[in-house]
Chains A and B, each alone.
Chain A
Amino acid sequence: MKMRMIGLAVSALILGGAVAFSSATLAQSDDQTPQSSDPMQIARGAKAWSEYCGRCHNIRDPSERSGRSWSVVSKHMRVRANIPGATAKDIEAFLKSSSND
């Protein structure tokens, strides 16, 4: 019974937190398509790409995929590796700038 209450409480906390944060941040979200023409962002992304991606696996060649493909894959890795959003967007901008498009 105690565990059930804890589970329900945690569920409520997760859902409540998500809703609260989403409503608070959606309007001002900076989760927008990276401006790949920004050389500063691309440079930051190149550095972060070498630092973050190699923590678990070999770094993948940016030319392996198209820019649109990297956009999805970089979000996948952002979630899996808990990469801060701003850093993930820098990496995405770099990968798209050097993609096979």
Chain B
Amino acid sequence: MTLATPTFAQTIATPVKLEDHSERGVTMKGASALASDLLTRRDSEQAQGDLAGASSTDAENGAAPPAQTNDRIEVVLTGAVVADASYSGSDGTGSYFGGAQFLPILLVGYGDQLLVETHMEITTDSDGETETSLEYAQVNYLVNDWLTVVAGKFLSPIGQYQQALHAPWINKLPTAPAGFTEEGGASPMTETGLMVRGGFKIGAGTATYAAFVGNGPRLGELGPMLEGFGGDDNRNKAIGGRVSYLPTPDFEIGLSAMRARILGMPAMAGDVSQATYSLVGADFAYTGGYWDIRGEYLRSRLGEINSAKEPTDPMPTTIPRTKWEAWYGQVAYRLAGISSNKVIANFEPAIRYSRISVSGYSEFADVQEQRWSFGIAYWMKPAVVAKVAYEIADFPSAPSAKRLNLQLTFGF
């Protein structure tokens, strides 16, 4: 007696578990092989008329289900919990356990075309206080296959790190690249306003776009604060966006741009002025095989502006035209590519070089830094990861800092 080989339809009806394919290297990359298996089997069965017979039977039985509309409200809680620790023998901060972070994302779907997304950041600071912030709260209207309209506070679509990689359960290293942080960074974090975005096929490739209009940045003590404010202090809207093209699913190249007018920080007395802020950027990503190779470059400038240096200044100061440049290059490799051992295969070493430089106003230049990061991640589950990284940071006006960072992230 011989056992019949399952048909494609039978196979596809069986729930797929990644663990079933651990022989492919205990890695999510095994999913690609799984998908290929399924499609190959489908093609084979099509050739045998297997599926054709099934289709005609379905049609005869009137089995093709009618299109259904979906007006159901669905609520999903996702997000991450993060624990950090750090040690430095060179900068005097010693060792400490960083503040824990609870990063819940609440998704509410209403039917097939409406989706609400809210993301809170709940953290503990060094004084033991709990800080709460709203990273984004947006309503998405999925108009058609290639257009979604977004309203509210959303992640900036400029570049790739902020909108795609900054989540701790995605980031290969415990820290963000130099210049891609909230305080004095050159990378826009969030925006409040309207955005259109989507993707569509062009030949064998895929093109994506995102364009926004929003309240825009404000000037702070470390430079432009590139985040979404719930009001507009100068009634001039910021515009910007990003386009990208993927000739193959594992290679993407993107271009970004943004333009805004920024109002000087008010002083106790005296008039402040406005200046134009402009940004251009480019990024790429290659994720073929077990490699994850990425790079991103941002260049921005702010024209001469009359502004207070800090809110308590009696009079504004003329701040000269200032230019920022920030970039990083990062290479990571999942060891599943060289070992089928279930433990070794879950390690992923990563190296990153990042840099931010500032020319113009000297007090904005305090954020200048170049940093090497050498890390390794151990993926216990696809979104549960322990990371350790050794970082060497050089500053133009301060001693170098060497730091060991550890992070445990549980994404859910």
Contacts and interface: CB of A to CB of B under 8 A. Distances in A.
A73 B76 contact: yes
Given A7-B237, A39-B8, A56 B18 contact: no
A84 B164 contact: no
Given A56-B170, A79-B117, 6 more contacts: A11-B237, A18-B196, A33-B112, A49-B31, A51-B32, A58-B379
Contact of B200 (A40, A42, A62, A84): A84
A21 B213 contact: no
Contacts of B196: 14, 17-18
Instruction: Give the residue among A30, A60, A75 with the most B Cβ atoms within 10 A.
Output: A75
B126 interface: no
A72 B140 contact: no
B69 to A, nearest CB: 6
Contacts, number: 214
Contacts of A25: 143-144
B334 to A, nearest CB: 9
A3 to B, nearest CB: 4
Interface of B: 8-9, 12-13, 15-19, 28-29, 31-32, 34-36, 38-39, 42, 51, 65, 67-70, 72, 74-76, 78, 107-109, 112-113, 115, 117, 140-150, 163-165, 167, 169-170, 193-201, 206, 208-211, 213, 235-239, 244, 249-250, 252, 259-261, 276, 285, 287, 379, 382-383
B163 A80 contact: yes
B239 A10 contact: yes
Interface in A6-29: 6-8, 10-11, 14-15, 17-18, 21-22, 25, 29
A72 B146 contact: no
15 contacts: A3-B276, A14-B194, A14-B195, A18-B141, A21-B143, A29-B113, A46-B12, A46-B31, A49-B35, A51-B250, A55-B285, A73-B78, A79-B117, A82-B210, A100-B15
A10 B8 CA distance: 49
B235 A30 contact: no
A8 B379 contact: no
Listed from nearest, the 3 A-B pairs whose CB atoms lie closest are A7-B237, A85-B145, A82-B208
Nearest to B39: A43
A72 B78 CA distance: 11
Nearest to A11: B213
A29 B69 CA distance: 10
B236 A43 contact: no
Contacts of A7: 213, 236-239
A3 B163 contact: no
Interface string A49-93: 111101111111111010011011101101111111110000000
Contact of B198 (A3, A68, A71, A82): A82
Nearest to A83: B199
